[in-house]
């Protein structure tokens, strides 16, 4: 066939247009920090593992994820996913279902038996971890991967902390927890159960430990002053939930009143319903908007038939009833008593008013600072006593599994540096990949996938898991919804739009490079990159 009267240049064949010295700015490929990553308390490289997941490289995705967090199947069930709250996609349609993809990867790893690789070299250092909750387990995992010998001393009969003795089975099946704990122990971590540390200094000395990470959680139930008749049955929420792991379920009766407004109150009320209570009523002194429990938890409880009495306090507990006083909010939004009383039938009152930390193992340790019942730590997670680090619920921070896991990671890295006589140096801070750095019109609409939920009858009568996982095609679809904020996903746009053939393609997974001999600094690539992975910098003169 005859060629038309026009010359078609192959990419890279235009050698006549070498740039002169007149360019004032040049493009630069960058990796920006996506807001999801910034918001994840465990510091997961979410964009990175979603990128693998969308290509079907699940094991690579899981390996990248577990560089920061060893409990993805647990996280995918109990994390309150602040990452999704920060996700840029929410400004287009709805946030990427990061948490559900994380769960898919965690479950896939359990199903396929993926294991962590054991470090080849041992440091010869011994670290004591006190408490096998999420924070202790996370620290143990990261320390073991750094080559240290780790011994966990756990007071209870099983590992998991509040993940086992607080969070009910219908939100976190124990087989999932067991599988993720076992994988950490398989790294060679020694777990000593039923071993309560009474004095940290004595245990460190007798065990010849080089450093310690404390993660004892907050297990002492706070008690409100509540006048109660001698026959009134007043119980602690954490004790009730803990006894669910024993041989016999707690006897709560037909009408159960729960006092409090946090996630523990919700979990106890939902547990009471499943144990057969006709009525499970939460009494809370403020309004729904002020309730510390998350909205979705409140919603799930209401669906299961839990009742909530807002703006109410308990004045008195009797044998088979309680007296409730109505409250009203003052102009500052604080609840104030009204004097208006009401009687509610109640076979048991369960107090869910928060927990304090048992710090007795720290008695006599010099240098420690305790404020509001929690131990102060520095930015490196070390307490005021050299070599003793702490994290999770026992230090001042939000009390969640993910924060606890993040503390474990941070402490492990700092313990490692401290043992080497150095300071842990964080990788360079990346510029934020905010929504304004994106070109949203490049992305097509894709509504978020919804996780299946157990039918209501089984939710009310069994401890079967309520929220189910995504199947492979939905998980992959969800991963594809990620905009890859601030990180090149090899869409080829810059390569295609450059009028000067100044973009060199390095091959799959290797991204691109600029040929500055040909780039005249027009900035088209920056304007056409969907995800903000290129920026212009002034030309050095």
Ligand X SMILES: Cc1cc2nc3c(=O)[nH]c(=O)nc-3n(C[C@H](O)[C@H](O)[C@H](O)COP(=O)(O)OP(=O)(O)OC[C@H]3O[C@@H](n4cnc5c(N)ncnc54)[C@H](O)[C@@H]3O)c2cc1C
Binding region for ligand X (CB under 6 A): 78-80, 130-136, 153-156, 161-163, 166-167, 196-197, 215-217, 238, 241, 263-264, 267, 358, 361, 392-393, 399-402, 404
Q: Residues 395, 375: contact at Cβ < 8 Å?
A: yes
Cα separation, 435 vs 516, in Å, equals 28
Using CB under 6 A as the binding rule, whether residue 36 contacts ligand SF4 is answered as yes
Q: Which stretch binds ligand SF4 (CB under 6 A): 131-139, 163-171, 470-478, 482-490?
A: 482-490
In 14-61 the beta strands, taken as DSSP E runs, fall at: 25-29
Q: Give the DSSP H/E element, type plus range, for residue 77.
A: helix 72-78
Using CB under 6 A as the binding rule, whether residue 42 contacts ligand SF4 is answered as yes
CA dist 159 → 133, 184, 230 (Å): 7, 11, 36
Using CB under 6 A as the binding rule, whether residue 236 contacts ligand SF4 is answered as no
Task: Give the phi and the psi of residue 128 in degrees, each rounded to 5.
Answer: -95, 130
Kindly tell me which of 230 and 444 has the beta carbon lying closer to ligand SF4: 444
**Among the listed residues 184, 211, 221, 483, the single contact to ligand SF4 using CB under 6 A:** 483
Task: Give the phi and the psi of residue 211 in degrees, each rounded to 5.
Answer: -160, 165
The least distance separating ligand SF4 from the CB of residue 132, rounded to whole angstroms, comes to 19
Kindly tell me which of 134 and 521 has the beta carbon lying closer to ligand X: 134
Kindly tell me which of 27 and 335 has the beta carbon lying closer to ligand SF4: 27
179 binds, among ligand SF4, ligand X, none (CB under 5 to 8 A by kind): none
Residues 351-410 interacting with ligand SF4 (rule: CB under 6 A): 402
Using CB under 6 A as the binding rule, whether residue 419 contacts ligand SF4 is answered as no
Residue 301, Cβ density class (10 Å: 0-12 exposed, 13-18 middle, ≥19 buried): buried
Kindly tell me which of 79 and 159 has the beta carbon lying closer to ligand SF4: 79
Using CB under 6 A as the binding rule, whether residue 61 contacts ligand SF4 is answered as no
Kindly tell me which of 176 and 382 has the beta carbon lying closer to ligand SF4: 176
Collapsed DSSP state (helix, strand, coil) of residue 351: strand
Q: Which stretch binds ligand SF4 (CB under 6 A): 6-14, 95-103, 143-151, 369-377?
A: 95-103
Strand partners, 220: 356
Kindly tell me which of 138 and 493 has the beta carbon lying closer to ligand SF4: 493
Q: Residues 222, 354: contact at Cβ < 8 Å?
A: yes
Q: Which stretch binds ligand SF4 (CB under 6 A): 178-186, 360-368, 456-464, 483-491?
A: 483-491
**Among the listed residues 466, 494, 498, 519, the single contact to ligand SF4 using CB under 6 A:** 494
Collapsed DSSP state (helix, strand, coil) of residue 58: helix
CA dist 35 → 32, 379, 405, 408, 482 (Å): 9, 22, 19, 22, 12
Q: Could you tell me which of 393, 387, 419, 423 has the C-alpha nearest to residue 408?
A: 393
**Among the listed residues 164, 475, 529, 535, the single contact to ligand SF4 using CB under 6 A:** 529
Q: Could you tell me which of 238, 110, 112, 242 has the C-alpha nearest to residue 178?
A: 110
The least distance separating ligand SF4 from the CB of residue 344, rounded to whole angstroms, comes to 37
Q: Residues 35, 485: contact at Cβ < 8 Å?
A: yes
498 binds, among ligand SF4, ligand X, none (CB under 5 to 8 A by kind): none
User: CB neighbours of 153 closer than 8 A, spacing ≥ 6?
Assistant: 128, 129, 130, 131, 192, 195, 196, 197, 203
Number of residues that bind ligand SF4 (CB under 6 A): 39
The least distance separating ligand X from the CB of residue 37, rounded to whole angstroms, comes to 18
Kindly tell me which of 512 and 518 has the beta carbon lying closer to ligand SF4: 512
Q: Which stretch binds ligand SF4 (CB under 6 A): 111-119, 180-188, 420-428, 491-499?
A: 491-499
The least distance separating ligand X from the CB of residue 489, rounded to whole angstroms, comes to 30
User: CB neighbours of 147 closer than 8 A, spacing ≥ 6?
Assistant: 119, 121, 122, 123
Cα separation, 410 vs 497, in Å, equals 43
Kindly tell me which of 196 and 288 has the beta carbon lying closer to ligand X: 196
Across the chain, how many H-helices and E-strands are there? Answer: 18, 21
- The CB density around residue 246, as the number of other CB atoms within 10 Å, is 10
Residues 65-84 interacting with ligand SF4 (rule: CB under 6 A): 69, 75, 79, 81-83
User: Which positions lie near ligand SF4, rule CB under 6 A?
Assistant: 34-36, 40, 42, 44, 46-47, 69, 75, 79, 81-83, 87-89, 96, 98-99, 102, 402, 482-485, 488-494, 512, 529-531, 533-534
């Amino acid at each position: 066939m005859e060629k038309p009267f026009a010359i078609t240049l192959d990419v890279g064949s235009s050698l006549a247009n070498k740039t002169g010295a007149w360019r004032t700015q040049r493009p630069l490929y960058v990796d920006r920090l996506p807001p999801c990553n910034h918001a994840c308390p465990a510091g997961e490289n979410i964009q990175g593992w979603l990128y693998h997941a969308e290509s079907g490289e699940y094991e690579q995705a899981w390996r990248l994820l577990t560089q920061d967090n060893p409990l993805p199947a647990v996280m995918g069930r109990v994390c309150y996913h602040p990452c999704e709250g920060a996700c840029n996609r929410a400004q287009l349609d709805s946030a990427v279902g990061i948490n559900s993809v994380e769960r898919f990867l965690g479950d896939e790893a359990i199903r396929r038996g993926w294991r962590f690789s054991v470090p080849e070299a041992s440091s010869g250092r011994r670290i004591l971890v006190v408490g096998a909750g999420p924070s202790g387990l996370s620290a143990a995992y990261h320390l073991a991967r750094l080559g240290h010998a780790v011994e966990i001393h756990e007071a209870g009969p099983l590992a998991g902390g509040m993940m086992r003795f607080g969070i009910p089975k219908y939100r976190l099946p124990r087989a999932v927890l067991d599988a993720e704990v076992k994988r950490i122990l398989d790294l060679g971590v020694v777990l000593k159960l039923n071993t309560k540390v009474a004095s940290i200094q004595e245990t460190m000395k007798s065990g010849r430990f080089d450093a310690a990470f404390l993660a004892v959680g907050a297990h002492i139930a706070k008690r409100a002053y509540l006048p109660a008749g001698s026959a009134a049955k007043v119980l602690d929420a954490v004790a009730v939930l803990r006894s669910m792991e024993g041989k016999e379920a707690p006897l709560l009766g037909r009408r159960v009143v729960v006092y409090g407004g946090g996630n523990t109150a919700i979990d106890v009320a939902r547990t009471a319903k499943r144990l057969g209570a006709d009525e499970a009523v939460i009494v809370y002194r403020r309004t729904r908007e002020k309730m510390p429990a998350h909205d979705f938890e409140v919603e799930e409880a209401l669906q299961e038939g839990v009742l909530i009495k807002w703006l109410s306090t308990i004045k008195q507990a009797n044998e088979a009833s309680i007296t409730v006083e109505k409250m009203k909010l003052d102009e500052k939004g604080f609840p104030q008593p009204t004097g208006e009383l009401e009687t509610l039938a109640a076979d048991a009152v369960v107090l869910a008013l928060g927990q304090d930390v048992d710090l007795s193992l720290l008695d006599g340790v010099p240098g420690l600072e305790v404020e509001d019942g929690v131990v102060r730590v520095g930015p490196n997670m070390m307490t005021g006593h050299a070599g003793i680090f702490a994290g999770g619920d026992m230090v001042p921070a939000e009390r969640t599994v993910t924060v606890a896991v993040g503390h474990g990671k941070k402490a492990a890295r700092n313990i490692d540096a401290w043992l080497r006589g150095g300071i842990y140096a964080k990788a360079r801070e990346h510029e934020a990949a905010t929504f304004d750095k994106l070109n949203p019109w490049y992305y097509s609409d894709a509504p978020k996938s919804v996780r299946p939920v157990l039918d209501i009858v089984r939710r009310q009568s069994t401890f079967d898991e309520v929220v189910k996982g995504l199947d492979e095609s939905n998980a992959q679809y969800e991963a594809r919804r990620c905009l890859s904020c601030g990180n090149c996903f090899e869409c080829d746009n810059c390569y295609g739009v450059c009028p000067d053939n100044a973009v060199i393609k390095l091959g799959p997974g290797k991204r691109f490079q600029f040929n500055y001999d040909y780039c005249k600094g027009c900035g088209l690539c920056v304007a056409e990159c969907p995800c903000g992975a290129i920026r212009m910098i002034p030309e050095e003169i």
